[in-house]
Amino acid sequence: MSANHLETLWYTRCPVPTGLGIAIQQGWLRQAFAAQGTTVESLLESDDFAIRESHFSHTLRNSVRHGGSIPAISARSRGRDTRLIGLSWADETQLILTLPDSGITSVKDLKGRRFGLPNWKSVEIDFSRAQAIRGLENALRLEALEVADVELVDQDIESHYSDGQARNVGGTVNWAGRTAGRARANNLELIALLRGEVDAIFLKGAHGAQAANQFGLVTVIDTGAHPDPLVRANNGTPRTLAVDGHLIDNHFDAAVTIAEQVLRAERWAHGQPSEVRRYLGRETNASEFWVQTAYGEEAHLNLNTDLVSTSVTALQDFTDFLHRWNFIPQTFRVTEWIDARPLQQAGERIAGWEAPARLEVVR
């Protein structure tokens, strides 16, 4: 092996629609790197807290992360040497929810009411709180209101995002296998709403859609369905595909291989709506019904990683929001974070490549 050989590539992704998730579930990422003599390891399945924490802090060398943008933005803002090599935008439900007897029937009715917010006290970046405030602020501004017009009620959480390993179940990472305390912490604002301690909360994705139905909640607004992309822009819109600077500088071809496998997986997905629903069910730990409810009938067509201006503009707007709300220490120019070379070279590699009609999903 050469001195510059990449021994191990660490990967992580969120339980949401991503091309990297498909490439992992199908076994394509591992296969591509095995041909280069590189071991591929799941960061979230590590028994080392510091390695798992890199999912949120991006401190681990030779790692790739595809998922919600808040941790990636936070790491960059704190001076971590990372490179943004792609953005993917798959719209999802972003719900402000209330109880049927709350008297809240429109966004205007939120004025003066209690809004429940998660407050993770021991984490570097509280992405749950940030995405909830973003959804609330975007909704209120549609009615010329501000967050200051509602009463914010914190649900304090002492545990940590990285407590407990994720488990590999059926070929994918299962977050549901974490500690009972972590599971309860993820739902404190929902519990507060059901107890009548707050009047409204924010939930998103398949979990949010299922919880709304299961507990008979009323949707005040779904900002994820708004026609303006800046209103829809949040932690998952767009999602970031990022690698650390060491990987780019010392193993550039590995970054190209990552981007290539993401693009191939997405192109395959465009012709496999049923398989993609099943894949998303495993990723989100939800049924295909709630996957389709949260991500739409054309979820398979919305898996596209690129660096289009709409996504870059939205990510800049969201970065500025995070700084304005003091979630990150400083804002920065997203365009200076981007390294478009891996995605460009990956696109050239697969030009003319046709996705197979059907491949068996790794279980």
- Per-residue pLDDT reduced to its tens digit, 163-179: 665 666 655 555 555 54
Query: Which residues fall within 8 angstroms of residue 260, CB to CB, at 6 or more apart?
Result: 32, 346, 349, 350
Asked if residues 48 and 81 have their Cβ atoms less than 8 Å apart, the reply is no
Identify the weakest region by mean pLDDT among 34-48, 223-237, 324-338. Answer: 34-48
User: 3-state SS of the chain: helix, strand, coil percent to 5?
Assistant: 45, 20, 35
Domain 94-232's class?
alpha beta
Integer Cα distance of 41 and 30 in angstroms: 9
pLDDT in the model for residue 181? 53
pLDDT confidence tier of residue 347, bands split at 50, 70 and 90: very high
pLDDT in the model for residue 187? 86
| Sheet of strand 201-204: strand arrangement | 201-204, 94-98, 218-222
Plot region of 246 (φ>0 → left; ψ -120 to 50 → alpha; else → beta): alpha
Asked whether the predicted pLDDT for residue 111 surpasses 70, the reply is yes
Strands 94-98 and 63-67: unpaired
Averaged pLDDT of the chain: 91
8-90+238-349 topology per CATH: D-Maltodextrin-Binding Protein; domain 2 (3.40.190)
Sorted by where each begins, the domain ranges of the chain are 8-90+238-349, 94-232
Higher pLDDT, 121 or 178: 121
Tokens 């709350």, residue located: 102
Q: Tell me whether the omega of the peptide bond preceding residue 329 falls within 30 degrees of 0, making it cis.
A: no
Tokens 């790739």, residue located: 64
pLDDT in the model for residue 357? 47
- Per-residue pLDDT reduced to its tens digit, 274-293: 999 999 998 888 999 999 99
Beta-bridge partners for 241: 66, 86
**195: burial class by Cβ within 10 Å (0-12, 13-18, 19+)?**
exposed
Residue type, 14: C
Q: For a pLDDT cut of 90, what percent of the chain falls above it?
A: 81
**205: burial class by Cβ within 10 Å (0-12, 13-18, 19+)?**
buried
pLDDT in the model for residue 360? 36
- Per-residue pLDDT reduced to its tens digit, 283-319: 888 999 999 999 999 999 999 999 999 999 999 999 9
Same fold, 8-90+238-349 and 94-232: yes
Taken as a whole, the chain contains a residue count of: 363
Asked if residues 245 and 322 have their Cβ atoms less than 8 Å apart, the reply is no
CA atoms within 13 A on the CB side of 130: 26
Identify the weakest region by mean pLDDT among 112-116, 172-176, 190-194, 238-242. Answer: 172-176
Tokens 């120019």, residue located: 333
pLDDT confidence tier of residue 232, bands split at 50, 70 and 90: very high
Residue type, 229: P
Identify the weakest region by mean pLDDT among 183-197, 200-214, 266-280. Answer: 183-197
- Per-residue pLDDT reduced to its tens digit, 137-164: 999 999 999 999 999 999 988 877 666 6
Alpha helices, DSSP H, located in 176-296 = 180-185, 188-194, 205-214, 229-232, 245-250, 252-269, 273-284, 288-295
pLDDT in the model for residue 359? 36
